[in-house]
Amino acid sequence: MQIINSIPEMQTFSKKLQRSGKTIGFVPTMGFLHEGHLSLIDEAQKRCDEVIVSIYVNPTQFGPNEDLDTYPRDFERDAALCEERGVTAIFHPADSIYPADFSTWVNETKLSQGLCGKYRPEHFQGVTTIVTKLFNAVLPDLAVFGQKDAQQSMVIKRMVEDLNFPIEVVVAPIIREADGLAMSSRNKNLTETERKAAVTINQSLKVAKQLILDGELSPLAIESEISERITESGGVIDYVDLVTQRSLEEVTEINEPVIIAVAAHYGKVRLIDNIFIEL
Ligand code: AMP
């Protein structure tokens, strides 16, 4: 397995693979890999000849008071996991991939406005910009993203379509801990008590889904059911929203496939989760 740090080296490596007729699957990550990330690698392996994983904690997608400094990192462990999983190369750039006079941003202007976009105003601009830079470095045929970040995957799909990237975007299901908590690198920063309480997010989403399937059509009723449970467990809510699967617009009545999306803080850790409901 190769470890590549510079953009020109990465491009040369990928072009060589392409010339030899290989397809490239790409999994962008911020590292501190868990089974969720590894499932994306497996998905890319199934669909492509070679898999490239990027590991980069992208500063431009963090707000000024967010957890950039405390975001968990362990490159050695990540590299070992990638090697075990048969990854061809890791792209591990330094912050110098943003030159000092960097002044070009990629912005999606609709899907990125609600949900996390309301609470993290520059987050998606950071995401779309770094993903564009990574696409241009790795030159993949296909890229795999996780449903865990449902809004992110829709924003990326829209960007790829709008800007004609010749890349197929695949979205893979959420991988969870045994008790239902969505796997996340940030879970490491939860205290034991917070970790136990955080399972309420997924539990309340499952209760909400059942209420809808049993005929509850009011988003407000669903949102307050979830909010109460999370608040009672010690979580501090950013949002609990019911949005359409089509456009991520908030619904006033549940009459088409929806996503219930949640962001809540347990202690210093901000967690997100979601559930898709087909009706
Ligand atoms: P991150 O390293 O958290 O930026 O995530 C990198 C990629 O892994 C993104 O496409 C995420 O949506 C995906 N991902 C993170 N957690 C999970 C999970 N529990 N299950 C599936 N995919 C995930």
Tokens 């590299």 belong to 79
Answer yes or no: is pLDDT of 85 > 90: yes
Query: What is the model's pLDDT at position 190?
Result: 98
Q: Is the pLDDT of residue 117 over 90?
A: yes
Q: What is the pLDDT of residue 143?
A: 99
Q: Tell me how far the alpha carbon of residue 146 lies from the centroid of ligand 1, in angstroms.
A: 5
Q: Per the residue annotation, which of 37, 92, 123, 265 is the catalytic one?
A: 37
Could you tell me which of 57, 133, 145, 124 has the C-alpha nearest to residue 99?
133
Say if ligand 1 is within 6 A of residue 148 CB: yes
Mean pLDDT of 177-182: 98
pLDDT at 95: 94
The DSSP code sequence of the chain is -EEE-SHHHHHHHHHHHHHTT--EEEEEE-SS--HHHHHHHHHHHHH-SEEEEEE---GGGS-TTSSTTTS---HHHHHHHHHHTT-SEEE---GGGS-TT--------STTSSTHHHHSTTHHHHHHHHHHHHHHHH--SEEEEEGGGHHHHHHHHHHHHHTT-S-EEEEEPPPB-TTSPBP-GGGGGS-HHHHHHTHHHHHHHHHHHHHHHTT---HHHHHHHHHHHHHHTT-EEEEEEEEETTT-PBPSS--S-EEEEEEEEETTEEEEEEEEE--
Contact 37 CB / ligand 1 (< 6 Å): yes
**Any catalytic annotation for residue 92?**
no
* 217 pLDDT higher than 90: yes
Give me ligand 1 centre to Cα 250, in Å. Answer: 24
- The pLDDT value recorded for residue 279 is 84
Candidate of 32, 40, 124, 167 to mutate for ligand 1, largest count of ligand atoms within 8 Å of Cβ: 40
Could you tell me if 56 and 31 are in contact, meaning their C-beta atoms sit under 8 angstroms apart? yes
Nearest alpha carbon, ligand 1 atom 18: 36
Reported as a pLDDT band with limits 50, 70 and 90, residue 223 is very high
Q: In this model, does residue 241 exceed pLDDT 90?
A: yes
Q: Taking residues 14-39, report their average pLDDT.
A: 98
Q: Is 103 exposed, middle or buried (0-12, 13-18, 19+ CB in 10 A)?
A: exposed
> What's the whole-model pTM score?
0.98
227 burial class (0-12, 13-18, 19+ CB within 10 angstroms)?
middle
| 157-175 tens-digit pLDDT | 999 999 999 999 999 999 9
1 band by pLDDT with thresholds 50, 70 and 90: very high
